[in-house]
Amino acid sequence: MNAGIESDVFDQLLEVVRRFTQERLIPAEAAVEEADDIPEDIIQEIRDLGLFGISIPEAYGGIGLNMAQETLVIEELCNASLAFRSLIGTTVGIGSQGLVMDGTEAQKQAFLPRLATGEIISSFALTEPDHGSDAAHIQTTARRDGDDFIINGTKRYITNASRAGMFTLLARTDPDKEGASGVTAFLMPAGSPGISLGTTDKKMGQRGTRTCDVLLDDVRLPSSAIIGGPDNLGKGFYTAMKVLDRGRIHLSAVATGTSQRMVSIATEYARERKQFGVPIGQHQLVQALLADSQTDLLAARHLCRAAARKYDRDGSAVLEASCAKLFSSEAAGRIADRCVQIHGGAGYIADYQIERLYRDVRLLRIYEGTSQIQQVIIARNMLK
């Protein structure tokens, strides 16, 4: 069982994150949206607070939160623009956790302390032009050449690729094996010869986040770069699935935090905006929109926290993680739609925060496993 850090220390951390989010990040949202980038001074403040290292064990310089504690911090952070969470998200989650879970001691010593401080950022290179959710059939190849592997392929929509100091890379090491058994996970330094990046993607929402293609042309990595060492050849898919199990709980907290922000904005608007001589919150149909949103929010929060507790207790929560990710991301979409409706015409105008949030949350139902993939995972686990 993962106990995390002491409760009084954690309470202090959570309060610091709450104040930082409200006093520093939310006021910076408009500038981030306009520039499509996060100012360097804010990135440094995030480093100084230790937020890149919240999930990294204390033995390697991190804060060492358990999953339940991490969800509370992420929920608080996601009261602000999701771009800020995205900045740390790959290091806190899918970019580093394969190393934390399955890496050798030498690999951990080489990377985790620098990840914990934000000196380098990690990124997770799984998705390809023709293979996103179908992770078992990726086509990036890793051909053995003596004690090295020569890697070729293209990875797509890779979050923080342009900021990354290292990648967790999934590549096919055995072309004769179909499916999961031929895939290996590598630790790939971002400065490795043969890596080039595509242009930064222009996205519907979450401006300030960075995603792009990662192009791999005869990138040479030693067998010691395999996560867990050479004995873990062909086991990368299983590392990825463990990482995504944990990441889906994290994303449930992301959805819950931004849902809380939207509900708060819409509630305040319903108090202040008047129609027919009274605040619109006095009209029952507006009250219904608020009530349904609050119900979705609380259900998402409790699902997320229950999945996190099970993960900390058992070390796995495949069914619960997928349930939490599915429900909370879909709920965020419903809440966003209702909150725009409460604002009426103003909800469609970019001057109002809810328009941006409506665009931002759409991605939550797609990455780290679409809603449809979550449904498949849930059903398969029910039928076992």
Per the annotation, the verdict on 368 as an active-site residue is yes
Q: Which of 214, 197, 212, 157 is nearest to 363 (CA)?
A: 157
pLDDT of residue 322: 97
For residues 305 and 98, which has the higher predicted lDDT (pLDDT)?
A: 305
pLDDT of residue 344: 96
Q: Indicate which residue of 29, 33, 320, 368 is catalytic.
A: 368
At which residue do the structure tokens 């380098």 appear? Answer: 120
Give the CA distances from residue 79 to residues 4, 27, 73, 357, in Å, rounded to whole numbers and listed in that order: 23, 12, 10, 10
- For the stretch 332-378, pLDDT in tens is 999 999 999 999 999 999 988 999 999 999 999 999 899 999 999 99
* Helix (H) or strand (E) segment spanning residue 150: strand 148-159
For residues 312 and 130, which has the higher predicted lDDT (pLDDT)?
A: 312
Virtual torsion, Cα 190, 98, 253, 43, nearest 10 deg: -30
- For the stretch 121-172, pLDDT in tens is 999 999 999 877 677 788 999 999 999 999 999 999 999 999 999 999 999 9
| C-alpha span between 96 and 116 (Å, rounded) | 10
Query: Looking at the predicted structure, is the pLDDT value of residue 62 above 80?
Result: yes
The residue type found at 334 is R
CATH architecture, domain defined by 122-234: Beta Barrel (2.40)
pLDDT of residue 175: 85
For the four alpha carbons of 258, 318, 189 and 184, in that order, the dihedral sign comes to: negative
User: What is the CATH number that goes with domain 238-383?
Assistant: 1.20.140.10
Confidence of residue 75 (pLDDT cuts 50, 70, 90): very high
Mean pLDDT, to the nearest integer, of 105-119?
A: 96
Q: State if pTM tops 0.85.
A: yes
| C-alpha span between 210 and 191 (Å, rounded) | 18
- Both tokens of 163, joined, read 């900021």
Q: What is the mean pLDDT of the chain?
A: 95
Give percent of the chain with pLDDT exceeding 70. 100
- For the stretch 194-243, pLDDT in tens is 999 999 999 999 999 999 999 999 999 999 999 999 999 989 988 888 88
pLDDT of residue 120: 96
Alpha helices by DSSP H, listed for the chain, are 7-20, 26-35, 40-48, 67-77, 82-92, 97-102, 105-117, 236-272, 284-314, 318-343, 353-360, 371-383
pLDDT of residue 133: 67
Fold adopted by 7-117: Butyryl-Coa Dehydrogenase, subunit A; domain 1 (1.10.540)
Confidence of residue 3 (pLDDT cuts 50, 70, 90): confident
Q: Do domains 122-234 and 238-383 have the same CATH topology?
A: no
- For the stretch 242-281, pLDDT in tens is 888 899 999 999 999 999 999 999 999 999 999 999 999 9
- Spell out the domain ranges in the chain: 7-117, 122-234, 238-383
Mean pLDDT, to the nearest integer, of 30-44?
A: 95
